[in-house]
Structure 1
Amino acid sequence: MNSEVKFTLDIAEKLADKYLFEKTGKYLSDVEKTVLQGSWDDKSYQKIAEECDYATNTLSKDYGKKLWRKLSKALGEEVCKKNFREALKRKWQKQKLSEISSYSEGKKEIYIERQPIESICYQTILQPGALIPIKAPCKMGKTLLLNQIVNYTRQKIIVLLD
C-alpha cells in the first residue's frame, strides 16, 4: 500500500490560499477558486464561463489574468493557466521536505497546518487588542499553533505584550 500523499485540487487550493494570504493578506475569491478548479480540470475559459454563468472575456481577461499574476508574485515564479499545477506542486514538495529535514535535525514535532483555523487566527491576531483562546486536549499541538501565530506576528512586526 502506498502511503504517499497525492497532490490534489484541495491541497493546491489551500496552498494557493496560504501563499496569497502571506503575500497580500487576502484569500482566493469565489471566482478565482472557480477559475483554479476549472483550470485544474483542463477546461477552457469558455467552458468554465458557461458552467458558472460568466462572460468568457471577463473570466479570461479579468479574473484569470489577475489570478495568475497574483499567484506568480505569491509563489515567486511565473505562473499561468498551463503551469500553475506544477508550480504549486513544487511549493508543496518543498514544504514537505523542509518538514522532514527539520524533524531529522532533532526536532520531535512536525507542525501540521490547520486550515482554515490557522488563517482565521492570522486574520484575528492582526486586529487591535486581539485575543485568541486556544483549547484542545493534551498533545494536540496547541503550543505549536501558538508558536506559528507568534512567528507570524513577528513577521508582521506587531508588538506582543507578555
Structure 2
Amino acid sequence: MAEVEWKGITWRAAFGSFSVKELLTILKGYGSMEIVSFEKPGCYRGTVSIALNEEGKRDITVYFLEVLGPKRRGMGRHALRELKGMFGGRIFVEDPGEILTDEYSIAESLLFWLQMYREGLIDALDSDYIVLKPDMSLEELKEVESRVECYIREKRANKNVYPGS
C-alpha cells in the first residue's frame, strides 16, 4: 500500500490501495471523493474524505480522530486547525463515535465536538447522539447543549439515557 508524506502528515488509503500519484490527486481535491487515513506520528491520526467544493476549496469529512501520545490536551483542537489550514474548506464530522478513555467517553467526545463547533473549527456534525448543522441559531445550539448536559447528569446517575432522546 502506497503512502505519502504531505505537509508533515503521512497519508494512505483507508480502504484498498492507491498509488502515490492517486493519493496526491485526492489530497489536492481533484480526484474522486475517497476515504484516506492520516497520521502525524506521536500527535494524532484519523480518517477523512476530501472533496472539492464550489469555491475551489477542499471540504473534508472527518470519520475518526484520535489523539496520540502522553500530552493529549489541546491536540484534537490542534489537529482540526492543521486540517482546516491545509485544506481551506469546511470540516464536517460524521459519526465520530467515542473517545475510548473511560465510562463517560461518549459525553466527553460530545463536549469536545460541541466546543469545536462553537469555536468554528468544525462546520457540522452528524452522529447517533446529536446533530450540529451549519449556521445553527444560538437557541438551537443551546438546546443541543442542554440535551448533552442532561445526558451527562443521567449517565453519572447510572441511567442509560442518550442525548438524542
| TM-score, normalised by the number of residues in structure 2 | 0.23
Computing the radius of gyration from Cα coordinates, the structure with the larger value is 1
| TM-score, normalised by the number of residues in structure 1 | 0.23
Higher relative contact order, chain-length normalized (CA < 8 Å, sep 6+) = 1
Determine which structure has the larger strand proportion and give its number.
Answer: 2
